[in-house]
Structure 1
Amino acid sequence: MGRGLLVFKGDKPKKKKKKSKHEPRGDHDDETAAAKASVAAASALPETAESDQKPAAAPRVATTTVTPPKIHTGRGTITTSGTVVTGHDTKFTKELRQGDALLVQVGQQDEMRVITMLLSDISINLSSPFSENMVKPVSFRYIPKPRNTQREAKQAREKAAREAVEEEANASGTGTSQELVYRERTAHGSYRIRRKQFDTELSREELLNMRAKKASDKYC
Structure 2
Amino acid sequence: MKEVTDDIYSRVRKVKFKRIGLDPSKKSNQGEKVDHCNSKKDKYDEHQHSVSFNSKSEEKKKKGEGRIITSNTTVQGFHTKFQQELKIGDYIEIEHPNTLIKESRQVVNIVSERTLIVDREFSFDLVSTSEYYYYTNDNDKDLDILNKSNTYSYREKDGMFKYKTVVKSVNSKLSREDILDIRAKKQRDKYCWI
Match of 1:135 among 115, 127, 139: 127
User: What CA RMSD, in Å, does the superposition of the two structures yield over aligned residues?
Assistant: 4.0
Match of 1:126 among 110, 118, 136: 118
TM-score (norm 1): 0.45
Look up the SS of the partner of 2:130 in the other structure: coil
For 2:56, the equivalent position in structure 1 comes to 68
TM-score (norm 2): 0.50
Bigger radius of gyration among the two: 1
Match of 1:116 among 89, 108, 113: 108
Give the distance between the partners of 2:61 and 2:68, measured in 1 at CA: 17
Give the distance between the partners of 1:152 and 1:171, measured in 2 at CA: 29
CA contact (8 A) 2:158 2:164 kept: no
Match of 2:76 among 82, 86, 109: 86
Give the distance between the partners of 1:179 and 1:125, measured in 2 at CA: 35
**How far did 1:68 drift?**
1.7
Gaps of 5+ in 2: 1-53, 169-174
For 1:97, the equivalent position in structure 2 comes to 87
For 1:202, the equivalent position in structure 2 comes to none
User: AA paired with 1:90?
Assistant: T
Seen in structure 2, the aligned counterparts of structure 1 residues 142 and 192 have a Cα distance that, compared at 3 Å, is: same
For 2:156, the equivalent position in structure 1 comes to 171
**How far did 1:144 drift?**
1.5
CA contact (8 A) 1:88 1:122 kept: yes
For 1:144, the equivalent position in structure 2 comes to 136
Seen in structure 2, the aligned counterparts of structure 1 residues 179 and 85 have a Cα distance that, compared at 3 Å, is: farther
Give the distance between the partners of 2:113 and 2:86, measured in 1 at CA: 9
**How far did 1:129 drift?**
0.6
Give the distance between the partners of 1:154 and 1:93, measured in 2 at CA: 11
Between the two proteins, what is the percent identity of the paired residues? 22
**How far did 1:173 drift?**
3.7
Count of matched residue positions in the alignment of Structure 1 and Structure 2: 122
**How far did 1:118 drift?**
0.1
Deviations 1:46-96 (A, max 9, x none): xxxxxxxxxxxxxxxxxxxx9923101000100001001000111111111
Give the distance between the partners of 2:106 and 2:115, measured in 1 at CA: 14
Considering Cα pairs closer than 8 Å and 6+ residues apart, tell me whether 1 or 2 has the greater RCO: 2
User: AA paired with 1:96?
Assistant: L
User: AA paired with 1:71?
Assistant: K
Seen in structure 2, the aligned counterparts of structure 1 residues 152 and 110 have a Cα distance that, compared at 3 Å, is: same
Gaps of 5+ in 1: 1-65, 197-207, 215-220
Give the distance between the partners of 2:148 and 2:107, measured in 1 at CA: 20
User: AA paired with 2:161?
Assistant: T
